[in-house]
A and B are shown apart, each in its own frame.
Chain A
Amino acid sequence: MRGSLRKENRHIFSHIVLLLWTFVVLFPIWVLVINSFKTRLTIYENPFWIPKTWEFSNYTTVLRDGDFFTYFKNSFFVVSISLVLVTLLASLAGYALARYKSRIGTIIYYFFIAGMMIPIKIASIKLLEIMRALGLLNTIYALPPIYVAMGLPVGVFILTTFIRELPEDLYEAAIIDGASSGKIYSMIILPLIRPALATTAIYNLIPFWNDLWFPLIFINDERHKTLLLGVTRLFGQYQTDWSKVLAVLTLSAIPVLVLYLAMSSQFIKGVTAGSVKG
């Protein structure tokens, strides 16, 4: 009886609940996008419905303002270099920690892992001082070292776990052939750990790209502002013209959103990788 009922179950209740939430998620995004195609005054006419005439001038104004591109370029540079470095350093460390089993190795491993639970923001006062001393304050170069440090705990965790699970005979043959550890890393390990490298990069992409805190406390110079820091300026500048603000917000949200929609399952896997094995 129960079994046959179950087969008939079309999960009506679940669909209603999830559709409701779908609405809660998509409605603000809908409002964001449609109103960015209105004008300063027409956004008040019918805030939740499509414009009578589609206005593209908000976008052209924002894009013509050269600063937007500068901000975008800065963010792109900072995030790419940070992602490359964090995956590289974490894979080297993961290789060492997976291969060298000793007490000190275990201690170093836990030293890294502890960083997963500690928010780096707490260290901001000292970080400001360090960046000032290094002469990096007010430049985008202050950001990558911090992002790399911030991304390493999870990166080391993901890559050590992954490399540990690689079959042992992989090394045996290479060692018998007289391959050095460097050669084993670059020729054997690196090609095999590509999925784990991707996971590490994806896990860190959102926190790096969306970070506001460190640009805010480090950077004042217009030419060195990241996209989000630039958005705070544009938000102030266009404050009375919400349709332009919405265009700025839409443009800023698009890069990660498009990337996410194109590869959502990898994103979801990447985000849960820090805590769920397998």
Chain B
Amino acid sequence: MRIKHSRHFPWLLYLAPALLVYTVFMAFPLIDSLRLSLFSGNNQVTRVFVGLDNFKRLFTDPEISTRYWGAFFNTWKFFFVHFIVQNGLGIFFAVLLTQETMKGRQIYQTIIFIPTTFAVLITGYLWKLMLNPVWAGDFLVSIGLPFLKHPYLGDTNTALWAVSLVSCWQWLGIPTMMFVAALRNINVELLEAARLEGAGSVKTFWYIKLPLIKPIVGIVAVLTFVNNFNAFDIVFAMENVNGAPEYSTDLIGTLFYRYGIAGQHPIGIPDAGLGAAIATITFLLLMVLVIPTLRQTQRGA
């Protein structure tokens, strides 16, 4: 009965529009961007096949490779701050927010998520003003907190930290809500049994809750990875596309924009091949890290 009708069902017709848009504007450009990393020139007419030359330039040209590795390691730092601070706080808050007997949980949840609804640009601009020592600095001195007056965004030692933490402030809502949803799905009887056995809250978390929400931990890890290896807006807003000061907040996202899209100052001609090479490496890196993480955590999920 079922199969007979399925055969007559014009399923391709229903799939076609979505498949078309998705293929033309996502799958194809993505794959073709990988191909373009083997070419030089900015349009179909002037484009020539150059093999791995773009990659060679990226890693051997003294200027370009310095910038690339700088951005590469900054991106990893940026990612680790998110992984530890954003996801760590997220899981901690989620545990607090899933205590059955606590009051006001809904209100806290609503508040934690507010910054996530802001555009990164708005968050970035707002914090850029707040962290400007000219504005609040004198006030901090006057209330007896002079040690807090510091040009956080202008100091190469603190700039990347400041930008990363502001970004964590913004995105904390997402892992928190995901962990809350996952923790709520845990069987109450299981937790009750653990409690009767005398397991404290730390033990219960470590040996029962955490293993049970492993699939979500995996998804959050992957999302953190994917989003941070593409971050651009926050640096654009707080430090401009050059990753000021002195490239200390330059991320792969901003580097990609400068080389591949906007063109390096002062020439201003984008280098599409080099940009595609940067994108290709990011893509491969994501694959290498995302697939095993999902394999590891999504088993049986």
Are B22 and A24 neighbours in the complex by a CB distance under 8 Å? no
- For residue A175, CB closer than 8 A to chain B, the reply is yes
Are A210 and B139 neighbours in the complex by a CB distance under 8 Å? no
Residue on A nearest B97 in the bound complex, by CB: A18
Residues 7-44 of chain B, each 1 if its beta carbon lies under 8 Å from chain A, else 0: 00111111101110110111111101100100000011
- Complex Cα gap A101–B272 (Å): 42
Given B21, B120, B226, B260, which contacts A145 in the complex, CB threshold below 8 Å? B21
Main secondary structure of the interface of B (DSSP, over half): helix
Beta-carbon contacts under 8 Å, A249-278 to B:
249, 252-253, 256-257, 260-261, 264-265, 267-268, 271-272, 275-276, 278
- For residue B265, CB closer than 8 A to chain A, the reply is no
Residues 97-127 of chain B, each 1 if its beta carbon lies under 8 Å from chain A, else 0: 1010111101011111111111111100111
Residues 155-196 of chain B, each 1 if its beta carbon lies under 8 Å from chain A, else 0: 000000000000001000110011001100100000000010
Given B18, B97, B109, B136, which contacts A93 in the complex, CB threshold below 8 Å? B18
Given A127-B25, A212-B236, A246-B129, A18 contacting B15 (CB threshold 8 A): no
- Complex Cα gap A112–B18 (Å): 9
Are B177 and A115 neighbours in the complex by a CB distance under 8 Å? no
Given A148-B21, A252-B122, A46 contacting B6 (CB threshold 8 A): no
CB distance from A161 to the nearest CB of B (A): 14
Q: Which of A97, A119, A209, A252 has the most CB of B within 10 A?
A: A119
Given B121, B169, B177, B283, which contacts A272 in the complex, CB threshold below 8 Å? B177
Main secondary structure of the interface of A (DSSP, over half): helix
Residue on B nearest A124 in the bound complex, by CB: B261
- Complex Cα gap A183–B33 (Å): 41
Are B114 and A260 neighbours in the complex by a CB distance under 8 Å? yes
- For residue A150, CB closer than 8 A to chain B, the reply is yes
- For residue A62, CB closer than 8 A to chain B, the reply is no
Residues 1-34 of chain A, each 1 if its beta carbon lies under 8 Å from chain B, else 0: 0100011010100110110011011101101100
- For residue B243, CB closer than 8 A to chain A, the reply is no
- Complex Cα gap A46–B135 (Å): 9
- Complex Cα gap A175–B93 (Å): 50
Interface size grouping (class) on chain A = 35 or more
- For residue B299, CB closer than 8 A to chain A, the reply is no
Are B114 and A29 neighbours in the complex by a CB distance under 8 Å? yes
Given A26-B111, A95-B14, A121-B253, A152 contacting B126 (CB threshold 8 A): no
- Complex Cα gap A143–B36 (Å): 22
Contact surface of B with A, Cβ cutoff 8 Å = 1-2, 5-6, 9-15, 17-19, 21-22, 24-30, 32-33, 36, 43-44, 89, 92-93, 96-97, 99, 101-104, 106, 108-122, 125-127, 129-130, 135-136, 138-139, 169, 173-174, 177-178, 181-182, 185, 195, 198, 216, 219-220, 222-223, 226-227, 229-230, 232-233, 236, 253, 256-257, 260-261, 272, 275-276, 279, 282-283, 286, 290, 294
**Closest 9 A/B residue pairs (Cβ):** A149-B25, A126-B29, A123-B29, A96-B14, A210-B119, A93-B18, A100-B11, A149-B26, A96-B11
Beyond contacts A17-B93, A99-B9: 9 other A-B pairs, Cβ-Cβ < 8 A, are A96-B12, A117-B286, A118-B226, A118-B283, A119-B230, A121-B232, A126-B36, A213-B233, A271-B173
10 contacts between A and B (CB under 8 A): A17-B92, A89-B17, A97-B15, A117-B226, A148-B25, A210-B119, A212-B233, A264-B113, A272-B177, A272-B178
